[in-house]
Structures are given as structure tokens and as C-alpha cells.
Amino acid sequence: MSELAERFGTPLYVYDLDAVARQRDALFSALPEGFELFYAVKANPHPDIGRVLSAGGCRAEISSTGELQAAIAGGFSPAECLYTGPGKTDAELEAALAAGVRMFSAESLDDLRHIGAAARRHGTVARCLLRVNTASAAASTGIRMMGRPSQFGIDSETLPDLMPALASVPGTRLVGAHFFTMSNAESEDALLAEYLHVVTTAAELGMPLEFLDIGGGFAAPYATGGEPARYEKLRTELEAMLDLHLPGWRAGSPRLACESGRYLVASCGRLLARVVNVKRSRGRTFVILDAGINVLGGLSGLGRLLPVAVRLDGEGATEVATLVGPLCTPGDTLGRDVQVPHLEPGDLVTVPNVGAYGPTASLLSFLGRPAPVEVAVRQGEIQSVTRLEYRRVEVA
């Protein structure tokens, strides 16, 4: 890490592609045989990461034309992508269909009609999953995505009355359902409770189920130490609930899928930053880094500011400090009152588990600072060195 920081400067993201492959294989092993796995490209659209996942059998879940381009660059076939999101525009539907995307998640009747109209203009039929927002949820941990009013999904209690209209939208064919109940489940039992809720709800929908996406919720730390969760009983318990409620699943009716972003890629990434200054102010210590929310702002930008864990090569006494970046705003805070080694200007610090929600989920263009360099390595060898750039262009 020190050599890479000297060579390419800081802030610097380093992605270990071997770690991506390990997480991919671990998740496939934890799921029942035959499950398909969508990678949520929003977590990290880096093409080298995409190539590892696509080569290992993952499909891509996307929600913009930019993510579609990233998925293609990462080796994913557009025909195998799932296009999601509550605000699909005419332009992006046109681009997605022209590229070969044929599966969409519909968030409402109007969204389904929107998809169908675009598909008809392309002389094709879009295969659509209905995203379902259940009236209740099984667990209270993680970030809730169902069981409350939301822009995501069709309220489950309205489905019986809507089904005739949903099933007759020109340009579409309903092939199944899409659920996403939560993110980052607190425990394996909480995750299993969510999946039981999803499977029982899906079995009672009263609609054709050729394909069922039961969502994600797999847990991994973000910008702090630790390892992704391991799911020792997920396969056997998920098989049992599917045998009970959807007994045709072993013969492929329905085909089943999960999706994951952070769990697959968080552990592959480290952020390297330099200490610019250490300031004492009214009894508090502020460690000022050359990396702020413009570099590591993703989840804080979503109202989820989490303390980061800093690792410094070598031994040292610990102290309590607030970690801040170089931006001219008091909001540029990465961690408040966290334990850090004794730090001096010029020290190199490492923030672990930031392979997900790194540069592209941050305030990259704020204050005009350059984006961080991103280095992808595999088996100790550098695979690529890149930097994102924003340019102002003329629009006719």
C-alpha cells in the first residue's frame, strides 16, 4: 500500500480483484443451487470489478444508462441485465432497449405502460417483473425498503384490483415479481425472516411466476474494520421454505434470483489518504486528511454518516480524534470522536471496506478537486490505473 501511495499519490483507492472473486464464490455457495445473482452496479461500476463478477456468472442490476454502459464495459450482456428504478425516462428506455435490454422491473402501472410504449416503438416485447411493496415487513433492522409508503414498488394490497390492467399492457409480458425488502440485515436470522416473508407473499400473489427476484440484504461493513457476514444455514433454510411455498422451484418454475452490491465488493477496496494537518481546538483533536466527502461521501450523502476505522502501518498510541477532509465546509467530516493511532502530518492512513459506495457515490465535483486514482490489482499485479473525469461540454 505504501508503494502504491508513493507511486500514484493520494487519495488512492485500491481494489483487490481476488477479494471480489472470493465474495462472489462465497455468496453463490451460500445460496441454493440454481439461484441467479444480480450485481447492483451502483455499488461500484468499475469495469475490472464487473469483469470478475460477469465472468463468474453474475448478471447486472442497473438503473440508468450510465450503469448500462458500465455493465457492458464490465462484460455483462445487456440481454441479461435487469433494469430497475422508479423514474425511467423515455430517453433511457430507448437507449436500454436499443442496446438489447429486455428485462425490466416495473414500479407502478404507469411505469409498466411507459416500458411497454418504448418496447412497442422498438418492435419488441419487454419481459417485466412487478416490484412489490408489501404491506408489512418481517424485521426492523437494516434499511427498510418495503412495508411503508414508498416510491418503490406496487403496494401489495392494490395488486388484486390492478392485475387485469397490469396483465394487459401492450408491449409487455409479466414474467414474475421483484422484491427488495432491506439492505444490510443485522443477522442471518433477520435475513431469513425477510426471505420467508417474501416467499410466502410471492406464493399468494395470484400471478404467473416464471421469475422471482427475492432481493438482497447481505451484510458487510462499510468504511470500518471487520469481515462480511457468513451465511451458514441460508442454503438449507431457504430451500426448505421454497419447497413448502413454491415447490416447483427445483424444476425451474420459478427461476430464482438474489441481488447484492456491497456484500460482493465492499471488502475488496481500501482508501489510502495522507494526513495534511493535526489541529487541536478547544480540547478536541482534528485530523485533517487529503480525502474528504468528495472522495468517501457515499453513504454520508444518503444521510448515513458512519465512523470510519483508520489503520496506520506500524505501532502507535491511540487517541480520540475527529477525521475531516480538506473541503471548505464543516460537513466534510468522515468520523467523529473515533480511536486512531497517534498521527502526524505526512502519515499514510488506510480506510478498509470501501470497495462499495466509494468515488461514484461521493461529491466528486464539489470544489473542483480531482477524483482519486483507482488501482485494480490481482495476484499482486496491477491490472489498471484510472481516474474519473468530469468535463463541461457544449449541448446543442
All three cell numbers of 256: 430464482
Q: Does residue 61 contact residue 45 with C-beta atoms inside 8 Å? A: no
Q: Among the residues of 57-129, which ranges form H helices?
A: 65-73, 90-99, 109-121
Return d(Cα 278, Cα 321) in angstroms, integer: 9
39: burial class by Cβ within 10 Å (0-12, 13-18, 19+)? buried
Among the listed residues 70, 75, 43, 73, the one whose alpha carbon sits nearest the alpha carbon of residue 56: 75
Among the listed residues 76, 19, 83, the one whose alpha carbon sits nearest the alpha carbon of residue 45: 76
Q: Annotate 294-309 with b (16+ C-beta within 10 A) or e (fewer).
A: bbbbbbbeeeebebbb
3-state secondary structure of 104: strand
Q: Which residues are catalytic?
A: 328
What does DSSP assign to residue 32?
Answer: P
Q: Does residue 83 contact residue 69 with C-beta atoms inside 8 Å? A: no
All three cell numbers of 34: 440454481
All three cell numbers of 244: 413448502
CA distances (Å), origin 80, targets 62, 113, 354: 11, 22, 27
Return d(Cα 157, Cα 370) in angstroms, integer: 49
Among the listed residues 42, 10, 65, the one whose alpha carbon sits nearest the alpha carbon of residue 298: 42
